[in-house]
């Protein structure tokens, strides 16, 4: 009985754990399809794809993606190269130096990203000054600094990935190539590099992802080339919209897609290896009979399901028009808002009557109304009147700041700044 | 290819820090020879091979291939090809790509390479296996692919670093013959490294016996077996019974040894030590198990030993008798099986005899570890 | 040429050897060592406008470090209580996050490390996927959940657990959850790697001897997994102490993180030397703290990163 209890509790624990891990991503993805101007699941208003459209019209986001891609590419090349060199050095360094060397190349993983960003900035600024170059030189270029700063620690990750594979490399293979007449460069290119290819691919993907999502280091070095992450951080810090959810959804979908693709590929390689082992000589010579793509390959099946789902969604998005629903909701909200205003007005009226009564009692000392209160609705929409807090931006009236046709008679009260209290 | 290219080691020293791996090696290997370095692991034979192939620069002395000094010439520029102990077949390349790797380096076309690969595959009796990957072959097949790959580079000298050690006994014995045949066919110099004296004896034209960085003896197999230079060579190559003692008297090429436990015995002094030993020297006398015969009871003299039989075993081609001489000295005797009747001697005392030219005396020295 | 270099070039060839050596030197010296030293040097200098750098006023000073302790000169308080409080709170919170992560990750790492079957691969992928999503977006996702009208509040208000929205952000719960969330993988993988190599027979043997499950963990699994645990804890501690995105997005207005102070010195006050000094203080304190804890638990530096 103890055993089954333990098993159940393990599964419950696993479920909670993965809910914690994946739940936020799922919820965030769902909010991308809710027409509510604030990313939320409930109340559910209308299914909409408008946030995707908005996303793709945001020049800053698009520009950020472009910068991220350029920087990511630079970082991948530099950190994989340095990581590989570092790993090769680690396998043959003089034993007495080994521990020190390892500490140095592993340290960037532990050094806070903020510190790396600052040190990169300070150091290259100094080099720049020593060389007598101006503020617009190559060395103070945001792309250069970001690639350099990110590579400092991403190369350590690459090194760890590469050294794991390198330890399984038989140095005799390089020697055999040399012995058969290859130059050192040829032996490297034809023997070591193909052997390392899977690890290099992993390291490159890791490096790209790490570069793409890096914030702490980049925030000090980006200069005039803000990456996507920097742009996102700006947006998230100063008010959030479902357009960000839309972007998140795309990234989640791409990640899942590539993860499944990789899994399917690995599985297929396994199956091919098995097929080769069972194949006869004639089959090997040319027409080897391979298992069909889906046979015994769960990941491949999932991949296809996933792809079909994506196509369906995109197809729906192209034809679907949530206009009516959104209009309904807006009308409903407008009604609610008006109702609320009426109530408030009534309250105010009552209060005023009360005050008047009091004042009348006190003998009419101060009767002048407060100034600057000439909007029809009084103070209701001033920032502090709605039980103000810094996070109020999320919470006020749920009309998006960027909603296109906002001429509903509420005037300037919806100016985002009046609702934003951020720091 | 007529005579082939010879290899000379001149006063070769190789040091790693304070450790001397090879001490003053002088070897002359004739072109077209099958030459073996034989010694226990750690004796420096692989180090010599790496110096010949160019992976190691000698600390002192020279490696000459075909009379040319190889100092400063990298492994990829030397006319040698090495077969590694673990074969080092390229795991990601198909068999035919492995074999013709040296041609790929030189920029040969794929068709040319394929053609050459097929020829070599025929030679090593693996036709049609070119499209497999190395790990899809059996151990013996991989072995042959490694040889083909080395031969494809058309080396003047083929170096083999214990290439048979990973194979099982049956295959190992088969590959010995095959290697020897290939060598005869291609006619190039083979330098073979092994710790297995059986391999060295069966295949080699000449053998160098190595111990702790020093070459003890260079000779053909028969000489090394019958006329060893040193105690180590005598004890490492084949089985041998050792009798320790002091030289009592020199009688031309023979000597009388006062052994510690078996009385005074006479034997031949090994050829290179003749004239160098004198009375009173510590000496060792070696008698092979098969050099003993059972003598009639009561016989005695300077080539008789008495012993008590501990146990016996029948090995098919021979009867092995394990005896214990005076003072607990173990002596192994091996009587060839001619189909004669064989009495059980266990527990009995017997007298053994040998012919003095079948026993050999060398100066006392280090023995090979059991 | 020293023997090591000679062998190195022999093994790799001159061209390849130079390429490897060049890259390694550029990385270790040009990207790791010199920038850190440069930052250290910078932290001892006054904040000067560019033309005066290298001039007579550019002298070494402890001013920037004094500032952290005593605050601005002529300030109203004896000590810089605001910054110091932020500093210590950051360290304490990072320790809490580390412990929280260790506790929730250990069972998962143990489960993944000791079970077999194809579902383990799926779990591994599910673990890695969140890690591939942008750090900012992960924080954003948590903000959606912990917001005043977020999923949790909607849920609990709906269930009637509480009747006014609970402010997760102001109470720092969102921040801790976010920091924990961000570094789960870095805690699990080192532990998983070690536990996976633990021979299952050892656990079986302990169980046969009648040890209860908690004792098996205490006496067998945890001592064995110590390198992985320390590796994971070190990484999580260093990274959460040095986190910037999560505090910026999930932190309440009153709960500054020390990295945010550094950020402000750099980007808002434009006082680089001051920022560099704060960064040095953070780096050195964290390293000393980790080394002290590692000594306490008798762990070697070489185990980190495996």
CATH of residue B123's domain is 3.40.50.300
What average pLDDT score do residues A418-422 get? 37
- pLDDT reported for residue B189: 92
**Cβ separation of C143 and A89 shorter than 8 Å?**
no
Residue A224 and residue A96 share a domain: yes
Chains touching chain B through at least 3 C-beta pairs below 8 angstroms are: A
Domain that holds residue C113: 62-303
Using one digit for the tens of pLDDT, what is the confidence trace for A313-360? 777 766 767 667 777 777 777 888 888 888 888 888 888 888 888 777
Using one digit for the tens of pLDDT, what is the confidence trace for B58-82? 999 999 998 889 888 888 889 999 9
The answer to whether residue A409 scores a pLDDT higher than 60 is no
The answer to whether residue B97 scores a pLDDT higher than 90 is yes
The answer to whether residue A191 scores a pLDDT higher than 90 is yes
Domain contains C51: no
The answer to whether residue A396 scores a pLDDT higher than 50 is no
Residue A136 and residue A171 share a domain: yes
Residue B145 and residue B214 share a domain: yes
Q: What share of chain C is helix, strand, coil (3-state, %, to 5)?
A: 75, 0, 25
- pLDDT reported for residue A355: 83
| Matching residue, tokens 């997005």 | C249
Residue A210 and residue A76 share a domain: yes
Residue A286 and residue A262 share a domain: yes
Q: pLDDT-based confidence at A28, cuts 50/70/90?
A: confident
Peptide bond into B258 cis (omega under 30): no
Domain end position, chosen among A334, A363, A396: A334
What average pLDDT score do residues B169-182 get? 85
The answer to whether residue B209 scores a pLDDT higher than 90 is yes
Q: pLDDT-based confidence at C46, cuts 50/70/90?
A: confident
Domain contains C120: yes
Alpha-carbon gap, residue B93 to B90, rounded angstroms = 6
Angle between helices C173-182 and C222-241 (to 10 degrees): 120
Question: Chain A residues with CB inside 8 Å of C39's CB?
Answer: 115, 118-119, 122-123
Element of type H or E holding C41: helix C34-43
The answer to whether residue B328 scores a pLDDT higher than 90 is no
Domain contains B233: no
User: Cα distance from A168 to chain C (closest Cα, Å)?
Assistant: 15
Contacts of A318 (CB under 8 A, 6+ apart): none
**Cβ separation of C34 and A107 shorter than 8 Å?**
no
Residue C34 and residue C129 share a domain: no
Residue B271 and residue B152 share a domain: no
Alpha carbon distances (Å) from B22 to A71, A390, B12, B367: 54, 80, 7, 19
Domain contains A199: yes
- pLDDT reported for residue A363: 59
| Matching residue, tokens 């709605």 | A386
> Looking at the complex, does the CB of residue B55 fall below 8 Å from at least one CB of chain A?
yes
Domain contains C293: yes
Residue C114 and residue C66 share a domain: yes
Residue C96 and residue C205 share a domain: yes
Domain contains B1: no
Residue B297 and residue B208 share a domain: no
Question: Chain A residues with CB inside 8 Å of B129's CB?
Answer: 281
ipTM entry = 0.84
**Cβ separation of A215 and C16 shorter than 8 Å?**
no
- Residue of chain C whose alpha carbon sits nearest to that of A126: C38
- What's the number of domains chain A is made of? 2
What average pLDDT score do residues B74-97 get? 90
Residue A178 and residue A91 share a domain: yes
Alpha-carbon gap, residue B35 to B191, rounded angstroms = 5
Residue C116 and residue C22 share a domain: no
- pLDDT reported for residue A152: 93
Q: Please answer whether residues A222 and A142 qualify as being in contact, where contact means their C-beta atoms are separated by less than 8 angstroms.
A: yes
Domain contains A404: no
- Strand B254-259 with B264-269, pairing: antiparallel
Q: Which of A96, A181, A282 should we substitute to test contact with B (largest number of B Cβ atoms within 10 Å)?
A: A181
Domain contains A278: yes
| Matching residue, tokens 């296809």 | A304
Q: Please answer whether residues A232 and A62 qualify as being in contact, where contact means their C-beta atoms are separated by less than 8 angstroms.
A: no
> Looking at the complex, does the CB of residue C196 fall below 8 Å from at least one CB of chain A?
no
Residue B283 and residue B136 share a domain: no
| Matching residue, tokens 């997760």 | C168
What average pLDDT score do residues C47-51 get? 70
- Greatest mean pLDDT range, A28-32, B188-192, B272-276: B188-192
> Smallest Cβ distance to A173: which of B54, B90, B153?
B90
- pLDDT reported for residue B286: 93
> Looking at the complex, does the CB of residue B128 fall below 8 Å from at least one CB of chain A?
yes
Domain contains A5: no
E-strand ranges in A41-169 read none
**Cβ separation of C151 and A109 shorter than 8 Å?**
no
Q: Buried b / exposed e across A158-168, counting CB within 10 Å, b at 16+?
A: bbbbbbebbee
> Smallest Cβ distance to C151: which of A41, A148, A216?
A41
**Cβ separation of C282 and A85 shorter than 8 Å?**
no
Q: What is the domain-level CATH number for residue C160?
A: 1.10.3720.10
The answer to whether residue A184 scores a pLDDT higher than 50 is yes
- pLDDT reported for residue A376: 41
CA C43, C45, C46, C50 dihedral sign is negative
Residue A71 and residue A207 share a domain: yes
Residue B142 and residue B276 share a domain: no
The number of beta carbons lying within 10 Å of the beta carbon of residue C25 is 13
Domain contains A361: no
- Residue of chain A whose alpha carbon sits nearest to that of B101: A180
Question: Chain C residues with CB inside 8 Å of A85's CB?
Answer: 19-24, 27
Of A108, A122, A148, nearest to C38 by C-alpha is A122
Question: Chain A residues with CB inside 8 Å of C140's CB?
Answer: 28, 232, 236, 240, 244-245, 248
- What's the number of domains chain C is made of? 2
Residue C121 and residue C36 share a domain: no
Question: Chain A residues with CB inside 8 Å of C26's CB?
Answer: 82
Angle between helices C63-70 and C272-296 (to 10 degrees): 70
Residue C294 and residue C205 share a domain: yes
Q: Which of A28, A119, A159, A388 should we substitute to test contact with C (largest number of C Cβ atoms within 10 Å)?
A: A119
Of A252, A249, A250, A217, nearest to A233 by C-alpha is A217
Q: Please answer whether residues C64 and C276 qualify as being in contact, where contact means their C-beta atoms are separated by less than 8 angstroms.
A: yes
> Smallest Cβ distance to B131: which of A170, A178, A285?
A285
Domain contains C50: no
Of A45, A10, A52, A63, nearest to A29 by C-alpha is A52
Phi/psi at B207 (nearest 5 deg)?
Answer: -130, 140
Domain contains B99: yes
Question: Chain A residues with CB inside 8 Å of C42's CB?
Answer: 122, 126
Q: Name which residue leads in pLDDT, C216 or B227.
A: B227
Q: Buried b / exposed e across C248-264, counting CB within 10 Å, b at 16+?
A: bbbbbeebbbbbbbbbe
- pLDDT reported for residue A153: 92
- What's the number of domains chain B is made of? 2
The token pair at A250 is 């795309």
Alpha-carbon gap, residue C101 to C103, rounded angstroms = 5
Least confident of A388-392, B150-154, C218-222: A388-392
Residue C114 and residue C20 share a domain: no
The answer to whether residue C254 scores a pLDDT higher than 70 is no
**Cβ separation of A104 and C275 shorter than 8 Å?**
no
Q: Name which residue leads in pLDDT, B365 or C151.
A: B365
> Looking at the complex, does the CB of residue C134 fall below 8 Å from at least one CB of chain A?
yes
- Greatest mean pLDDT range, A235-249, B84-98, C169-183: B84-98
Q: pLDDT-based confidence at B158, cuts 50/70/90?
A: very high
Question: Chain B residues with CB inside 8 Å of A193's CB?
Answer: none
Residue B292 and residue B243 share a domain: yes
Alpha-carbon gap, residue B38 to B196, rounded angstroms = 7
Least confident of A353-367, A408-422, B255-269, C215-229: A408-422
Using one digit for the tens of pLDDT, what is the confidence trace for A76-102? 999 999 999 999 999 888 888 888 898
Domain contains A317: yes
User: Cα distance from A235 to chain B (closest Cα, Å)?
Assistant: 49
> Looking at the complex, does the CB of residue C224 fall below 8 Å from at least one CB of chain A?
no
DSSP string of A352-377? HHHHHHHHHHHT-S--PPPSS--STT
Which residues partner with B313 through β-bridges? Answer: B320
Domain contains B234: no
Angle CA A179–A183–A187, to nearest 5: 75
User: Cα distance from C114 to chain A (closest Cα, Å)?
Assistant: 13
Alpha-carbon gap, residue B177 to B70, rounded angstroms = 32
The answer to whether residue A281 scores a pLDDT higher than 70 is no
Q: pLDDT-based confidence at A404, cuts 50/70/90?
A: very low
Q: Please answer whether residues C68 and C281 qualify as being in contact, where contact means their C-beta atoms are separated by less than 8 angstroms.
A: yes
Strands lying side by side in the sheet with B293-295: B293-295, B349-353, B304-314, B318-325, B330-336
Alpha-carbon gap, residue C249 to C142, rounded angstroms = 9
What average pLDDT score do residues C257-286 get? 85
Residue A175 and residue A72 share a domain: yes
Which residues partner with B360 through β-bridges? Answer: B268, B286
Least confident of B135-139, B314-318, C14-18, C169-173: C169-173
> Smallest Cβ distance to A284: which of B81, B131, B153?
B131
Q: pLDDT-based confidence at C208, cuts 50/70/90?
A: confident
Of A302, A122, A307, nearest to A221 by C-alpha is A122
The answer to whether residue A375 scores a pLDDT higher than 50 is no
What spatial distance separates the first Cα and last Cα of chain A, rounded to whole Å? 55
Alpha-carbon gap, residue B343 to B320, rounded angstroms = 12
Question: Chain C residues with CB inside 8 Å of A302's CB?
Answer: none
Residue C218 and residue C155 share a domain: yes
Domain end position, chosen among A287, A317, A334: A334
Q: Please answer whether residues B324 and B308 qualify as being in contact, where contact means their C-beta atoms are separated by less than 8 angstroms.
A: yes
Domain contains A220: yes
Using one digit for the tens of pLDDT, what is the confidence trace for C128-182? 888 878 788 888 888 878 776 677 777 777 777 777 767 776 667 788 888 888 8
**Cβ separation of B76 and A277 shorter than 8 Å?**
no
Residue B171 and residue B30 share a domain: yes
Domain contains B355: yes
Residue B144 and residue B98 share a domain: yes
Strands lying side by side in the sheet with B19-29: B19-29, B7-16, B60-65, B68-69
Using one digit for the tens of pLDDT, what is the confidence trace for A9-27? 888 888 888 888 888 888 8
Contacts of A277 (CB under 8 A, 6+ apart): B136
Residue C80 and residue C31 share a domain: no
CA C161 to chain centre: 35
Domain that holds residue B318: 239-363
The pTM of the full predicted model, rounded to 2 decimals, is 0.79
Residue B211 and residue B346 share a domain: no
The token pair at C23 is 């890259």
Q: What is the domain-level CATH number for residue B286?
A: 2.40.50.140
Residue C226 and residue C132 share a domain: yes
What does the DSSP 8-state code read for residue A47? B
Domain contains A223: yes
The answer to whether residue A379 scores a pLDDT higher than 50 is no
Question: Chain A residues with CB inside 8 Å of C133's CB?
Answer: 25, 213, 248, 251-252, 255
Of B24, B10, B355, nearest to B212 by C-alpha is B24
Domain that holds residue A249: 18-39+242-334
Residue B69 and residue B33 share a domain: yes
Average pLDDT, chain A: 76
Q: Which of A391, A419, A423 should we substitute to test contact with C (largest number of C Cβ atoms within 10 Å)?
A: A391
Question: Chain B residues with CB inside 8 Å of A183's CB?
Answer: 76
Residue A143 and residue A276 share a domain: no
Q: Which of C4, C32, C212, C269 should we substitute to test contact with A (largest number of A Cβ atoms within 10 Å)?
A: C32
Least confident of A54-63, A361-370, C96-105, C178-187: A361-370
The token pair at A171 is 């140095």
- pLDDT reported for residue A392: 37
Q: pLDDT-based confidence at C26, cuts 50/70/90?
A: very high
Q: Name which residue leads in pLDDT, B240 or B345.
A: B240
Peptide bond into A43 cis (omega under 30): yes
Window 39-68 of C, Cβ < 8 Å to A: 39, 42, 50, 53-54
Of A181, A164, A278, A273, nearest to B91 by C-alpha is A273
- pLDDT reported for residue C20: 93
Contacts of C248 (CB under 8 A, 6+ apart): A233, A237, C257, C260, C263
Of C82, C7, C20, C78, nearest to C278 by C-alpha is C82
Residue A104 and residue A204 share a domain: yes
Residue C110 and residue C31 share a domain: no
> Looking at the complex, does the CB of residue B153 fall below 8 Å from at least one CB of chain A?
yes
Angle CA B299–B302–B303, to nearest 5: 70
Q: Please answer whether residues B103 and B96 qualify as being in contact, where contact means their C-beta atoms are separated by less than 8 angstroms.
A: no
- Residue of chain C whose alpha carbon sits nearest to that of A230: C136
Cβ pairs bridging A and B (under 8 Å): 68
Alpha-carbon gap, residue B130 to B95, rounded angstroms = 5
**Cβ separation of C140 and A216 shorter than 8 Å?**
no
Alpha-carbon gap, residue B136 to B318, rounded angstroms = 41
The number of beta carbons lying within 10 Å of the beta carbon of residue A61 is 19
- pLDDT reported for residue B3: 65
Residue A255 and residue A171 share a domain: no
Residue C260 and residue C201 share a domain: yes
Domain contains B17: yes
Question: Chain A residues with CB inside 8 Å of B150's CB?
Answer: 180
Strands lying side by side in the sheet with B80-83: B80-83, B157-161, B189-194, B34-38, B206-211, B214-219
What does the DSSP 8-state code read for residue C219? I
Q: Name which residue leads in pLDDT, C302 or A221.
A: A221
- pLDDT reported for residue A229: 87
**Cβ separation of A233 and C272 shorter than 8 Å?**
no
Which residues partner with B306 through β-bridges? Answer: B351
CA C242 to chain centre: 6
Q: Name which residue leads in pLDDT, C47 or A209.
A: A209
Residue A198 and residue A246 share a domain: no
Q: Please answer whether residues B244 and B364 qualify as being in contact, where contact means their C-beta atoms are separated by less than 8 angstroms.
A: yes
> Smallest Cβ distance to B105: which of A173, A180, A276?
A180
> Smallest Cβ distance to A237: which of C151, C248, C287?
C248
Angle CA B63–B65–B69, to nearest 5: 55
Contacts of A351 (CB under 8 A, 6+ apart): none
| A25 phi-psi bin (left φ>0, alpha ψ -120 to 50, beta other) | alpha
Domain end position, chosen among B205, B226, B247: B226
**Cβ separation of B136 and A277 shorter than 8 Å?**
yes
The answer to whether residue A402 scores a pLDDT higher than 50 is no
Using one digit for the tens of pLDDT, what is the confidence trace for B279-325? 888 999 999 998 988 888 777 888 888 888 888 888 888 888 888 87
Residue A71 and residue A209 share a domain: yes
- pLDDT reported for residue A283: 60
């Amino acid at each position: 009985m103890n055993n089954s209890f333990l098993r159940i509790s393990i599964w419950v624990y696993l479920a909670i754990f993965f809910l914690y891990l994946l739940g936020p991503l799922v919820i965030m993805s769902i909010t991308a399809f809710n027409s509510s101007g604030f990313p939320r699941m409930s109340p559910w208003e209308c299914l909409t794809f408008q946030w995707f459209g908005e996303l793709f019209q945001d020049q800053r986001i698009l520009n950020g993606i472009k910068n991220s891609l350029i920087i990511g590419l630079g970082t991948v090349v530099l950190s994989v190269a340095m990581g590989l060199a570092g790993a090769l050095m680690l396998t043959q360094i003089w034993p007495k130096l080994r521990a020190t060397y390892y500490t140095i190349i592993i340290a960037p993983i532990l050094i806070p990203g903020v510190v790396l960003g600052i040190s990169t900035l300070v150091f290259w600024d100094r080099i720049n000054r020593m060389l007598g170059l101006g503020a617009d030189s190559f060395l103070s270029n945001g792309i250069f600094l970001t690639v350099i700063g990110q590579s400092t620690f991403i190369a350590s990750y690459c090194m760890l990935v590469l050294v794991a594979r390198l330890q399984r490399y038989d140095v005799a293979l390089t020697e055999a190539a040399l012995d058969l007449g290859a130059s050192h460069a040829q032996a490297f290119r034809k023997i070591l590099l193909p052997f390392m290819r899977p690890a290099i691919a992993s390291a490159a993907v890791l490096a790209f992802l790490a570069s793409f999502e890096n914030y702490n280091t980049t925030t000090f070095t980006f200069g005039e080339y803000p990456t996507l992450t920097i742009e996102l951080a700006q947006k998230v810090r100063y008010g959030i919209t479902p357009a960000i959810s839309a972007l998140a959804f795309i990234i989640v979908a791409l990640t899942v897609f590539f993860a499944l693709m990789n899994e399917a590929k690995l599985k297929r390689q396994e199956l091919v290896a098995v097929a080769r082992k069972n194949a006869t000589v004639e089959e090997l010579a040319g027409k080897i009979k391979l298992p069909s793509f889906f046979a015994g390959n769960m990941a491949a099946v999932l991949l296809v399901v996933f792809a079909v789902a994506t196509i369906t969604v995109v197809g729906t998005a192209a034809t679907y028009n949530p206009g009516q629903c959104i209009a309904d909701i807006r009308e409903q909200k407008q009604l609610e808002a008006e109702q609320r205003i009426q109530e408030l007005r009534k309250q105010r009226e009552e209060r005023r009557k009360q005050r008047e009564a009091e004042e009348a009692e006190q003998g009419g000392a101060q009767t002048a109304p407060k100034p600057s209160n000439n909007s029809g609705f009084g103070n209701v929409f001033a920032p502090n009147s709605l039980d103000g807090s810094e996070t109020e931006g999320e919470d006020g009236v749920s009309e998006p700041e960027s909603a296109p046709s906002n001429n509903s008679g509420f005037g300037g009260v919806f100016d985002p700044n009046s609702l934003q209290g951020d720091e | 290819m007529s005579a082939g290219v010879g290899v000379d080691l001149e006063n070769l020293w190789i040091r790693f820090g304070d450790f001397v791996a090879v001490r003053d090696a002088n070897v002359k290997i004739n072109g077209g020879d099958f030459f073996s370095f034989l010694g226990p692991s750690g004796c420096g034979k692989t180090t010599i091979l790496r110096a010949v192939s160019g992976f190691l620069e000698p600390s002192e002395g020279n490696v000459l291939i075909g009379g040319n000094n190889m100092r400063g010439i990298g492994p990829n520029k030397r006319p040698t090809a090495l077969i590694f102990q673990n074969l080092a077949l390229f795991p990601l390349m198909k068999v035919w790509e492995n074999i013709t790797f040296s041609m790929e380096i030189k920029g040969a076309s794929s068709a040319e390479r394929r053609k050459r690969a097929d020829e070599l595959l025929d030679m090593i009796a693996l036709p049609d296996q070119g499209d497999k990957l190395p790990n899809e072959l059996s151990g013996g097949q991989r072995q042959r692919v490694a040889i083909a790959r080395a031969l494809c580079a058309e080396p003047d000298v083929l170096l083999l670093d214990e290439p048979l050690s990973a194979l099982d006994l049956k295959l190992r014995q088969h590959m010995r013959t095959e290697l020897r045949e290939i060598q005869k066919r291609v006619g190039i110099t083979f330098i073979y490294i092994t710790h297995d004296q059986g391999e060295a004896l069966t295949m080699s034209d000449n053998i160098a016996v190595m111990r702790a960085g020093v070459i003890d003896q260079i000779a053909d197999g028969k000489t090394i077996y019958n006329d060893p230079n040193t105690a180590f060579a005598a004890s490492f190559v084949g089985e041998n019974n050792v009798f320790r003692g002091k030289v009592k008297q020199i009688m031309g090429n023979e000597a009388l040894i006062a052994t510690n436990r078996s009385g005074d015995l006479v034997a031949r002094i090994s050829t290179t030590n003749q004239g160098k030993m004198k009375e009173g020297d510590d000496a060792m006398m070696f008698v092979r198990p098969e050099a003993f015969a059972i003598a009639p009871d009561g016989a005695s003299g300077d080539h008789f030993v008495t012993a008590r039989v501990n146990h016996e075993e029948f090995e098919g081609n021979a009867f092995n008798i394990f005896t214990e001489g005076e003072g607990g000295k173990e002596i192994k005797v091996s009587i060839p099986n001619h189909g004669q009747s064989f009495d059980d001697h266990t527990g009995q005392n017997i007298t053994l005899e040998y012919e003095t030219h079948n026993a050999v005396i060398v100066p006392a020295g280090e023995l090979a570890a059991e | 040429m020293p023997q090591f270099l000679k062998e190195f070039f022999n093994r790799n060839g001159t061209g390849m050897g130079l390429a490897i050596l060049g890259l390694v030197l550029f990385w270790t010296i040009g990207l790791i060592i010199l920038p850190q030293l440069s930052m250290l040097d910078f932290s001892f200098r006054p904040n000067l406008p560019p033309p005066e750098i290298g001039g007579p006023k550019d002298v070494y000073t402890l001013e920037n470090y004094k500032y952290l302790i005593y605050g601005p000169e002529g300030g109203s308080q004896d000590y810089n209580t605001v910054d110091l409080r932020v500093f210590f709170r950051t360290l304490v919170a990072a320790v809490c996050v580390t412990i929280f992560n260790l506790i929730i990750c250990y069972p998962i790492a143990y489960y993944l490390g000791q079970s077999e079957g194809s579902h383990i691969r799926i779990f591994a992928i599910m673990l890695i996927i969140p890690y591939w999503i942008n750090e900012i977006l992960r924080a954003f996702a948590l903000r959606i959940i912990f917001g005043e009208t977020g999923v949790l509040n909607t849920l609990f208000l709906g269930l009637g657990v509480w009747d006014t929205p609970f402010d997760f952000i102001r109470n720092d719960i969102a921040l801790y959850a976010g920091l924990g969330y961000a570094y789960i993988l870095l805690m699990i993988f080192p532990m998983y790697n070690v536990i996976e190599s633990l021979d299952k027979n050892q656990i079986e043997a302990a169980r046969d001897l009648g040890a209860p499950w908690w004792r098996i963990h205490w006496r067998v699994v945890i001592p064995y997994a110590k390198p992985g645990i320390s590796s994971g804890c070190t990484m999580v501690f260093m990274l959460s102490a040095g986190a910037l995105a999560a505090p910026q997005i999930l932190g309440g207005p009153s709960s500054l993180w020390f990295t945010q102070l550094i950020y402000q010195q750099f980007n808002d006050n434009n006082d680089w030397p001051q920022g560099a000094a704060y960064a040095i203080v953070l780096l050195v304190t964290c390293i000393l703290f980790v080394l002290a804890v590692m000594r306490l638990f008798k762990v070697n530096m070489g185990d980190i990163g495996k």
